Amino acid sequence: MKIDQLTFTRYIAALSVVFFHYGVNVFPANLPLLNPVLTAGPIAVSYFYVLSGFIMAIAYYRPDNNQPFASGRYWLARFARIYPIYLLALLVMIAAKFNEAGSDPLTVGLGISMLQAWIPGYPLTLNSPGWSLSVEAFFYLFFPLLLLVAKRHHLKALIIGSVVLWLSTQVAHTVLLNTHDYAPFSALHDFIYYSPIMHLNTFVIGFIAGVWLLEGKLQSYSSPLLNHAGLLACIALIVLLLIARQPLIATTGIRFDYTNGLIAPLFLVFIVLLALNTSHLSQYLQHKWMILLGEASFSLYILQKPLHGIYEKVVAGWIPDNSALHFYLFVIVLTGTAILSFQWVETPLRRFINSLYRTPEKSG
């Protein structure tokens, strides 16, 4: 099943992360009404996780296929998908921090093994966006179990489990966020925001929706009127909730956040509706340049920190001190670099690594 219209949304989500890190104070993100929308980078990571679960279900789940799971091919493909560029960005950061604080063997070892998100104090070390890949690696380990449960027709139990997991995650997140022991960037903060366990709910609900779609249970939502109205309503509600978060916290005195999947069900509805969309919008999003930007979004996301450091040292000094000019020029440089990385580094390496797989028949 082809769902290329979803690919460009990954670029938009990755761009919001870049805004969050480097463009908070530039126009139009400096406008109070638009700031929580354009700089919703940490929340966009939840969107990535929902989309990841959904796409992996589309890629691997086959309702009528009783053949055994090709674990060797799967693990190699997952490794090839994220690790080469992840490691490249990490090595650049290690080189930049050589003999500095944060380059000790434990920090480097956790980064290389993609375990940093599990250990409080370490998720944001070296290449800080890499914490989310540490979480994604855990999802890859967990995925075969989800696939096995779905293929054995225990989908009802999986749905119930996902609801319980989502609810318990949101309750735990909010309760822990409002305890007296909570402090920004403490061990508790790192557990709440970066622990893979606290993000698993987003991946699972994405997977279930992908299974439902393949089983034909969501086709009624492809009706043009319902689909378009649903997409508009979903986008409007997401934007409204992003804008309303801080006023609600100020009014109620209760701290809460969307980073662990609180609005992931809305992301899921948006993903499903867009996947089922067959209008001119879908055709526009399937344009080759839109797809290319979406495909390059992973390189854009993981290379943003090392490239920003290079940009600051090499380019920034030659340009007038204008924060908006610097930011948008950096976005152009980052996007161009990400496209080149995708085409000339990421894709060739992924193809080479995947070519190493040999079936028993071929290797015998």
Res. 363 pLDDT band, cuts 50 70 90: very low
Res. 154 pLDDT band, cuts 50 70 90: confident
Q: Tell me, what amino acid is at 258?
A: Y
Distance CA 273, CA 226 (A): 9
Cα Rg of the chain, angstroms: 21
Res. 99 pLDDT band, cuts 50 70 90: low
Q: Is the pLDDT of residue 62 over 50?
A: yes
Closest by CA to 209, choosing from 152, 143, 155, is 155
**Other beta carbons within 10 Å of 98:** 7
Cβ density class 25-43: b for 16+ within 10 Å, e for less: ebeebeeeeebbbbbbbbb
Q: Domain spans of the chain?
A: 4-356
Ranges 115-119, 143-147, 162-166, 356-360: which has the least confidence: 356-360
Asked if 169 and 261 count as a contact pair (C-beta separation under 8 A), the reply is: yes
Distance CA 162, CA 144 (A): 16
Q: Is the pLDDT of residue 153 over 70?
A: yes
Distance CA 19, CA 271 (A): 22
Q: CB neighbours of 14 closer than 8 A, spacing ≥ 6?
A: 44, 297, 298, 300, 301
Segment 70-76 shows an average pLDDT of 91
Segment 216-232 shows an average pLDDT of 93
Res. 1 pLDDT band, cuts 50 70 90: confident
Q: Is the pLDDT of residue 364 over 60?
A: no
Distance CA 263, CA 265 (A): 5
pLDDT of amino acid 71 = 87
Q: Is the pLDDT of residue 362 over 70?
A: no
Q: Say what the pTM is.
A: 0.95
**Other beta carbons within 10 Å of 110:** 21
Q: Is the pLDDT of residue 361 over 60?
A: no
Task: For 230-243, write each residue's pLDDT tens digit.
Answer: 999 999 999 999 99
Distance CA 358, CA 107 (A): 35
pLDDT of amino acid 101 = 62
SS3 letters for the chain? CCCHHHHHHHHHHHHHHHHHHHCCCCCCCCCCCCHHHHCCHHHHHHHHHHHHHHHHHHHHCCCCCCCCCCHHHHHHHHHHHHHHHHHHHHHHHHHHCCCCCCCCHHHHHHHHCCCHHHCCCCCCCCCHHHHHHHHHHHHHHHHHHHHHHHHCCCHHHHHHHHHHHHHHHHHHHHHHHCCCCCCCCCHHHHHHHHCHHHCHHHHHHHHHHHHHHHCCCCHHHHCHHHHHHHHHHHHHHHHHHHHHHHHHHHHHCCCCCCCCCCCHHHHHHHHHHHHHCCCHHHHHHCCHHHHHHHHCHHHHHHHHHHHHHHHHHHCHHHCCCCHHHHHHHHHHHHHHHHHHHHHHHHHHHHHHHHHCCCCHHHHC
Segment 197-219 shows an average pLDDT of 95
